[in-house]
């Protein structure tokens, strides 16, 4: 899992890695071809990439089964619960519950 990934991520078609507030990128680090030689992650390793908050995320926790993700912003006023659904072609659909 990686907090603050860039809108220029491989998923978005770019390669820069400039931190952005409120963005969550979930990576499958055990994917057979997850990393490039330089240590960066390939787009095939991205399970999900989405905007969780408009401000910085200071806390997140996966549920016991790994299919739910709870996030909180830096003010502690906004909490979001996301369901991570596996997609048949490899990417994920994210639904806010």
Mind listing the pLDDT tens digit of every residue in the chain (97 residues)?
Answer: 444 444 444 444 444 455 678 888 888 877 777 788 887 877 777 888 888 998 899 999 999 988 899 999 988 889 999 998 765 555 444 555 5
Q: Considering only CA atoms, which of 9, 78, 65, 56 is closest in space to residue 96?
A: 78
Identify the DSSP state of 40.
Answer: P
Contact call for residues 22 and 52 (beta carbons, < 8 A): yes
Q: Where are the domains of the chain?
A: 2-96
pTM value?
Answer: 0.62
Alpha carbon separation from 94 to 10, 21, 35 (Å, rounded): 18, 18, 23
């Amino acid at each position: 899992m990686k907090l603050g990934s860039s809108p220029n991520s491989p998923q978005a078609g770019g390669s820069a890695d400039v931190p952005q507030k409120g963005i969550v990128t979930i990576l499958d680090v055990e994917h057979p071809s997850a990393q490039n030689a330089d240590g960066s992650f390939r787009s095939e390793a991205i399970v999900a990439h989405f905007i969780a908050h408009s401000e910085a995320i200071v806390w997140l926790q996966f549920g016991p089964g790994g299919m739910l993700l709870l996030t909180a912003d830096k003010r502690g006023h906004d909490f979001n619960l996301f369901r991570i659904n596996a997609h048949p072609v490899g990417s994920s659909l994210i639904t806010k519950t």
